[in-house]
Amino acid sequence: MLFLDIIHAIIGVIFALFIPGYLLTILLFNDLEILERISLAIGLSMCVDILIGLLLGGNKTLMGFTGGITAFNLWIFIGAICVILLALILIKNKFRWESLILR
């Protein structure tokens, strides 16, 4: 059971603190080196996470609509943002999957 908890934590950290920002850097910046892209990805992912937190629990109206900040809501919102960003990247690059590779 401890092994599954560790895997869950690793996947959660990667999914919350890297993937949304990485997709944003692909969408917004064309010519970045690997280190620049990774550092920007982490920073932008933190910004996305803060905005999701404000959306989920910012005031009583939104908290009543979304149910507040729960692990399930965070997974749903971060997943939806990643899917939307991935779709925008594929549309921008004319459905070439090679644009997603870390270069």
Confidence band of 99 (pLDDT split at 50, 70, 90): low
Give pLDDT tens digits for 33-79: 889 989 999 999 999 988 888 887 777 776 776 677 777 888 888 88
The predicted structure's pLDDT at residue 75? 85
pTM over 0.85? The answer is no
Signed CA dihedral, 84, 86, 89, 91: sign only: negative
- Residues 6 or more apart in contact with residue 96 via CB below 8 angstroms: 90
Give pLDDT tens digits for 9-28: 898 888 889 999 999 998 88
The predicted structure's pLDDT at residue 57? 76
